[in-house]
């Protein structure tokens, strides 16, 4: 009885496989078209997806180029101003002017400016660096932590103020570079650059001369020597975009002329 059941089941399975085989044989062309249709459909979907990704990538690249290559400003009147970025080398006149402006805007000014019209006094040379906003701003961004770089300047300036020898007004008329030497590091993967420079300022100095009880106005040349390291990786920040760091700074302090000197010059 069991043998007959097994034989019947075997015949049934063989019949099913035979029918499947016959179906495939008779409909092979239809199955081929179906497979090809599914394949083409998948290729179309993949192609559309890749094309869409490529378009999005192109849009993103265009957006980045448009925004990264430009700087946008908003004026006080609400007007949008667009400026195109450009590469600046250390030999560029704009970079040279940047260094001059950092020095003159922060460190060159008469006693009226330093004392905020005599409202602020400085007990020591160190207070000039830590208390005066302009000098402190320069020190924190471009010198710190090397306080010795500005110590001689601060001591001489403080002494001239205390002794009443520092002019009330000092304004920069013009400047020129007498020396500007760029020394790039020869070491691999070292982008540090050293700059040795000398600038000559032409100043308009106005002083109150007590001996004569009168104002003295004259043009005075001022020669400033400095060495800086330019290292974007180490020193650059939002307040110091070029990564400038002063290693030495020699600024002679201007003194008022005495009454005797003025009278002797008139003879």
- What's 130's domain CATH number? 3.10.450
Task: Please say if the pLDDT value at position 13 is more than 60.
Answer: no
Q: Which structure tokens are listed for 103?
A: 């020095």
Q: Which structure tokens are listed for 127?
A: 């207070």
Over residues 15-40, the mean pLDDT reads 71
Same-domain check for residues 49 and 99: no
Q: HSE on the CB side for 137, CA within 13 Å? A: 12
| Of 31, 64, 86, the domain-final residue | 86
> Confidence band (pLDDT; 50, 70, 90) for 84?
confident
Same-domain check for residues 191 and 122: yes
84 φ/ψ angles, rounded to the nearest 5 degrees: -85, 135
Same-domain check for residues 17 and 111: no
Domain tally for the chain?
A: 2
Q: Which structure tokens are listed for 161?
A: 């103020």
Same-domain check for residues 171 and 77: no
Q: Which structure tokens are listed for 34?
A: 């179906």
Task: Give me the chain's average pLDDT, please.
Answer: 85
Q: What pLDDT does residue 27 have?
A: 65
Same-domain check for residues 98 and 49: no
Task: Please say if the pLDDT value at position 176 is more than 70.
Answer: yes
| Of 86, 101, 123, the domain-final residue | 86
Same-domain check for residues 49 and 111: no
Domain boundaries, position 184: 93-266
Over residues 169-175, the mean pLDDT reads 97
* Chain Cα centroid distance, residue 151: 27
Q: Taking a C-beta distance cutoff of 8 angstroms, is the pair 106, 134 a contact?
A: yes
* pLDDT per position as a tens digit, 124-157: 999 999 999 999 999 999 998 888 999 999 999 9
Q: Which structure tokens are listed for 239?
A: 């307040």
Same-domain check for residues 70 and 100: no
> Confidence band (pLDDT; 50, 70, 90) for 246?
very high
Same-domain check for residues 109 and 69: no
Over residues 6-31, the mean pLDDT reads 62
Same-domain check for residues 99 and 69: no
| Of 48, 67, 86, the domain-final residue | 86
User: What is the spatial distance between Cα 120 and Cα 229, in angstroms, rounded to a whole number?
Assistant: 33
Same-domain check for residues 246 and 171: yes
Of residues 76 and 178, the one with the higher pLDDT is: 178
> Confidence band (pLDDT; 50, 70, 90) for 207?
very high
Same-domain check for residues 150 and 22: no
Q: What pLDDT does residue 2 have?
A: 45
What are the CB-based long-range contacts (under 8 Å, 24+) for 211-220?
Answer: 211/258, 211/259, 211/260, 212/259, 212/262, 212/263, 216/256, 216/257, 216/262, 218/257, 219/173, 220/254
Quickly list DSSP for 165-190.
-S-SEEEEEEEEEEEEEEEE--STT-
Same-domain check for residues 26 and 113: no
Order of strands across the sheet that contains 214-230: 169-184, 193-209, 214-230, 244-250
């Amino acid at each position: 009885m069991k043998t007959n059941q097994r034989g019947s089941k075997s015949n049934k399975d063989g019949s099913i496989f035979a029918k499947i085989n016959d179906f495939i044989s008779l409909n092979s062309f239809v199955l081929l078209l179906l497979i090809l249709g599914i394949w083409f459909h998948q290729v179309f979907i993949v192609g559309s997806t890749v094309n869409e990704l490529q378009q999005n990538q192109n849009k993103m690249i265009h957006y980045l180029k448009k925004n990264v290559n430009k700087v946008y400003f908003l004026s006080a009147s609400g007007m949008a101003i667009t400026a195109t970025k450009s590469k600046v080398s250390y030999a560029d006149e704009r970079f040279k002017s940047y260094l001059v402006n950092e020095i003159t805007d922060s460190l060159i000014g008469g006693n009226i400016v330093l004392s905020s019209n005599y409202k602020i006094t400085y007990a020591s040379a160190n207070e000039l660096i830590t208390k005066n906003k302009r000098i402190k701003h320069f020190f924190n961004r471009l010198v710190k932590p090397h306080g010795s770089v500005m110590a001689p300047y601060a001591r001489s300036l403080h002494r001239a103020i205390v002794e009443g020898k520092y002019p009330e007004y000092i304004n920069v008329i013009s400047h020129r570079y007498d020396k500007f030497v760029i020394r790039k590091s020869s070491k691999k993967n070292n982008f540090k650059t050293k700059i040795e420079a000398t600038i000559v300022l032409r100043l308009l100095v106005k002083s109150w001369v007590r001996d004569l009880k009168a104002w003295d106005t004259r043009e005075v040349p001022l020669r400033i020597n400095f060495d800086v390291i330019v290292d974007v990786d180490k020193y650059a920040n939002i307040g110091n975009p070029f990564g400038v760091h002063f290693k030495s700074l020699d600024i002679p302090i201007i003194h008022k002329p005495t009454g005797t000197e003025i009278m002797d010059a008139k003879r």
